[in-house]
Amino acid sequence: MEFKSFLIKYAEIGVKGKNKFIFEDALVKQINTALKKTDGTFKVYKETGRIYADALSEYDYDEVIEALQRVFGIAGICPLVQIEDKGFEDLKQNVILYMEEVYGHKNLTFKVNARRARKNYEKTSVEINMDMGEALLNAFSEYSVDVHNPQVMLNIEIRKHINIYSMTIPGPGGMPVGTAGKAMLLLSGGIDSPVAGYMAAKRGVQLEATYFHAPPYTSERAKQKVIDLAKQVALYSGPVRVNVVNFTDVQLYIYEKCPHDELTIIMKRVMFKIAEHFARESGCLGLITGESIGQVSSQTLQSLGVINEVCTMPVFRPVIAFDKQDIVDMAIKIGTYDISIQPFEDCCTTFVAKHPVTKPSLERIRKSEENLSENIDRLVREAIESTQVIIAG
Amino acid sequence: MEVYLDNSATTRVSEKVKNIIIKTMTEDFGNPSSLHMKGVEAERYVKEAREIIAGNLKVKDKEIIFTSCGTESNNLALIGMAMANKRQGNHIITTSIEHASVSNTMKYLKEQGFDITYLKVDKEGHIDLNELREAINDSTIIVSVMYVNNEIGAVEPVREIGKIIKEKNPKTIFHADAIQAFGKYKIYPKKLNIDALSVSGHKIHGPKGIGFLYVSEGIKIKPVIIGGGQQNGMRSGTDNVPGIAGLGAAVKETYENFDEKIKRMYRLKDYFTDNIMSLENVQVNSKKGELSAPHIVSVSFIGVRSEVMLHALEERGIYVSSGSACSSNRHGGSATLESIGLSREALDSTLRFSFSDNTTKEELDYTIDAIKELLPRLRVYVRKK
């Protein structure tokens, strides 16, 4: 007995009214993309308000479940056993075999839930429920029926074939990627920004990313680490276009001209400006950062405000109210943590002052930035022009 | 211009070595254990390589065991000899500046119940012979000392070490990790009282994945890799014929015009060192002249983190190593540099320049110019307090 098909349950998409088909089609597309990377061949289709993925070939069960669990929009995955209709007696034998294999002889409560899409079947749904329940009670002395709160909900669907299923493997939830437009993720080599990207993607946002590279202060390996992070996020979000901005000259110029306790703030203001430039160019609807209130000096509310001021696009901060440990837990779950903790520096850590400002005033920062007026526009332009684009995933 | 000054990490394979490797992979590709002609042909390469190596060390052919690398040579020597001699005693002596393939193997042996004594070194990286003399006792089975230190190029007094060991306890085995020394010194183990000597192929223009261990006849040693009984049971596994043939060719080339090549390397090293020493606030951790190896210069550019300098040089096509893998938020790193008493500041800013016999004065001038240009620029951007 093997699972020939998967019933895909989706949560929020169900309530999207007339736009429902857009979401469903996006989900079918994402499932197709995910399954193409596995060893099997599948047919993914919509049928009477549900999505099915039928296996057309041999496949690796664990690999397929893992792939489906990365598709945003899926609430649950139900592996189906599909049998030909050879009469009710045959169905009974198959169901007993199914229960034997999946649960075996142990104490459990169950309920049979039959659905009859093909109305010419020999029994009604109610009859199937009753007769199958009886057959199971006879076959397994350990089982008992509980119609209100069963441990096992045994579903039997009479269609062209007959589907038997009882397990629901949780999916990641969220919405299919691409249904919420595109946004620009400011990606560093740290723990927070990949998690922020993941969370936005989970709400259906397609990701593009910008990374600030500062050779020789940051190494090729630091850049590779960021690309690896983007690839890991891309497992969920689909391919991510990464803009690698050569930031060294801008950074050195700021370092030369501005008070050192304000370096990080001013540097981040320029970073946001550059990221926003790329965001506009590629039709993004906002920026995404991994900032979290109070985590470091540039993430106090005052600092966030002063940095944000350079942008006219909305800046989304999915982990803004998360504790560090919560972000770490999530990073471990999505597989970015091990990459993030590799010890290559990003350009923020190289130029951090010992005691940076925690409550910057916009007025003072603007005054400090006047020192940059001579060359900053040219340097920013050059940084933008020398940007390298890498597609991750 | 591309200037490769990381020859202590690895070297470029020479033309002759490359050709013999290709030949043994595509034409004479047999398994030396096979009975037919293809096997016999392949065996010839192994035999010849063994003869070249043994000849240059002035030892017997059968005293050479081919391994997969320097690390395996050190593992086989230390674990193999410790296990085979544990009835004689359980005391082993080594130094505080050994390569990880020795120091971590010592940790493993400690877990197996052996007592390990670590000898200190002075600020030039040399052990104290009196301390060694006092450390050796009746239960000392092995003394393992590296011939040339891989980070600062310090040369240990192996001749004196050998003498002291044999005076104090003739049964004690002397193992020398010669991975950085082989090809830079003419090493005659028998004269130096060295009982076991580890060597790696890719440090002398040979391929990666091959090394050898010399073990003096009569020394008790147990194999670490068990199998079909190749190499008299001392190292099972199909002979790596391309690697062995390549290593043989590399050793042969290394010993051609030996004295002349080494003299030239010393001249270049001193030239480089003099130029670097003349720079402000720069500290050279390796000695000039023959107190240290001809191919390693360790320099601390105070005020510039080693990684930054490394990548800045890399942008100009110059490839070097950082002496210790430290970063501002993660301390830890070189046991050698700490052992010779470098300050934190110096530790964080140390680079290793390592030459080969192919290194030219032109390349060094290019490097010196690059450093002169970079130093003042990079020093502006130190982390502010």
Task: Tell me the pLDDT tens digit for each residue of A357-367.
Answer: 889 999 999 99
Same domain? For A232 and A378 the reply is: yes
Per-residue pLDDT at B330 exceeds 50: no
- The tally of domains found in chain A comes to 2
Residue A198 lies in a domain: yes
Print the domain residue range for A160: 5-170
* Among the ranges given (A206-210, A247-251, B307-311, B320-324), the one the predictor scored with the smallest mean pLDDT: B320-324
Distance (Å, whole) CA B363 – CA B361: 5
Same domain? For B289 and B170 the reply is: no
Preferred mutation among A188, A191, A213, A219 to probe B, highest tally of B CBs within 10 A: A219
Confidence at residue A14, expressed as pLDDT on a 0 to 100 scale: 56
Q: What is the CATH number of the domain that holds B142?
A: 3.40.640.10
Q: Percent helix, strand and coil across chain B, each rounded to 5? A: 45, 15, 40
Same domain? For A161 and A197 the reply is: no
Confidence at residue B329, expressed as pLDDT on a 0 to 100 scale: 38
Strands of B219-302, DSSP E:
282-284, 296-301
Contact flag A216-B314 (C-beta cutoff 8 Å): yes
Residue A175 lies in a domain: no
Residue B103 lies in a domain: yes
Confidence at residue B127, expressed as pLDDT on a 0 to 100 scale: 97
Same domain? For A222 and A322 the reply is: yes
Nearest to A260 among B314, B380, B384 (CB): B384
Output the average pLDDT for chain B. 94
SS3 B10: coil
Contact flag A216-B381 (C-beta cutoff 8 Å): no
Mean pLDDT of all residues in B203-219:
97
Same domain? For B194 and B219 the reply is: yes
CA angle in degrees (0–180, nearest 5) for B235-B170-B121: 85
Confidence at residue B328, expressed as pLDDT on a 0 to 100 scale: 38
Task: Please answer whether residues B88 and B141 qualify as being in contact, where contact means their C-beta atoms are separated by less than 8 angstroms.
Answer: yes
Same domain? For A115 and A216 the reply is: no
Confidence at residue A17, expressed as pLDDT on a 0 to 100 scale: 73
Per-residue pLDDT at B326 exceeds 50: no
Same domain? For B267 and B213 the reply is: no
Q: Please give the DSSP secondary-structure letter assigned to residue B232.
A: G
Residue B2 lies in a domain: no
Where do the H-state alpha helices sit in chain B? 15-26, 37-57, 70-84, 100-111, 129-135, 158-168, 189-192, 241-254, 258-277, 306-315, 335-339, 344-347, 361-380
Task: Please answer whether residues A376 and A384 qualify as being in contact, where contact means their C-beta atoms are separated by less than 8 angstroms.
Answer: no
Task: Please answer whether residues A313 and A287 qualify as being in contact, where contact means their C-beta atoms are separated by less than 8 angstroms.
Answer: yes
- Residue linked to tokens 């560093």: A188
Residue B25 lies in a domain: yes
Per-residue pLDDT at A152 exceeds 70: yes
Q: Please give the DSSP secondary-structure letter assigned to residue A168.
A: -
Nearest to A353 among B308, B327, B384 (CB): B384
**ipTM for the complex shown:** 0.73
**A276's tokens:** 């926003």
Preferred mutation among B307, B321, B330, B371 to probe A, highest tally of A CBs within 10 A: B307
> Strand order of the sheet with strand B296-301?
B282-284, B296-301, B350-354, B321-322
Confidence at residue A168, expressed as pLDDT on a 0 to 100 scale: 92
Contact flag B328-A343 (C-beta cutoff 8 Å): no
Name, in order, each residue with C-beta under 8 angstroms of B124's C-beta and a sequence gap of 6 or more.
Answer: B154, B287, B291, B292, B340
Residue A91 lies in a domain: yes
Per-residue pLDDT at B7 exceeds 60: yes
- The tally of domains found in chain B comes to 2
Q: What is the CATH number of the domain that holds A92?
A: 3.30.2130.30
Q: pLDDT-derived band of residue B332, with 50, 70 and 90 as boundaries?
A: low
Confidence at residue A356, expressed as pLDDT on a 0 to 100 scale: 87
CA angle in degrees (0–180, nearest 5) for B103-B104-B107: 95
Q: Percent helix, strand and coil across chain A, each rounded to 5? A: 45, 20, 35
Confidence at residue B307, expressed as pLDDT on a 0 to 100 scale: 87
Mean pLDDT of all residues in A323-338:
96
Per-residue pLDDT at A161 exceeds 80: yes
Residues of B annotated as catalytic (active site), given as ranges = 326
Confidence at residue B359, expressed as pLDDT on a 0 to 100 scale: 97
Residue B3 lies in a domain: no
Mean pLDDT of all residues in A113-140:
94
Same domain? For A194 and A159 the reply is: no
Distance (Å, whole) CA B84 – CA A120: 82
Distance (Å, whole) CA A312 – CA A383: 21
Same domain? For A111 and A217 the reply is: no
Is B320 in CB contact (< 8 Å) with chain A?
no
Same domain? For A164 and A189 the reply is: no
Residue A177 lies in a domain: no
Confidence at residue A346, expressed as pLDDT on a 0 to 100 scale: 57
Residue B1 lies in a domain: no
Mean pLDDT of all residues in A10-24:
75
- A392 to chain B, closest Cα gap in Å: 24
Percent of chain B with pLDDT over 70: 96
Same domain? For B80 and B197 the reply is: yes
Q: Please give the DSSP secondary-structure letter assigned to residue A15.
A: G
Residue B328 lies in a domain: yes
Same domain? For A99 and A10 the reply is: yes
Same domain? For A157 and A196 the reply is: no
| pLDDT tens-digit series, residues A30-49 | 999 999 999 999 999 998 77
Mean pLDDT of all residues in B62-87:
97
Q: Which residues does residue B115 pair with via DSSP β-bridges, in sequence order?
A: B91
> Strand order of the sheet with strand B91-95?
B64-67, B211-215, B196-200, B173-177, B140-146, B91-95, B115-119
Mean pLDDT of all residues in A152-161:
92
Per-residue pLDDT at A297 exceeds 90: no
Preferred mutation among B326, B383, B385 to probe A, highest tally of A CBs within 10 A: B383
Q: What is the CATH number of the domain that holds B293?
A: 3.90.1150.10
Confidence at residue B67, expressed as pLDDT on a 0 to 100 scale: 98
Mean pLDDT of all residues in A153-176:
93
Contact flag A345-B327 (C-beta cutoff 8 Å): yes
Distance (Å, whole) CA A72 – CA A197: 13
**A24's tokens:** 């469903």
Contact flag B385-A354 (C-beta cutoff 8 Å): yes
Print the domain residue range for B316: 258-380
Residue B58 lies in a domain: yes
Residue B4 lies in a domain: no
Per-residue pLDDT at A391 exceeds 80: yes
Per-residue pLDDT at B323 exceeds 70: no
Where do the H-state alpha helices sit in A78-147? 88-102, 125-139
Same domain? For A186 and A159 the reply is: no
| pLDDT tens-digit series, residues B130-185 | 999 999 999 999 999 999 999 999 999 999 999 999 999 999 999 999 999 999 99
DSSP string, A208-232: EEEEEE-TTTS-HHHHHHHHHHHHH
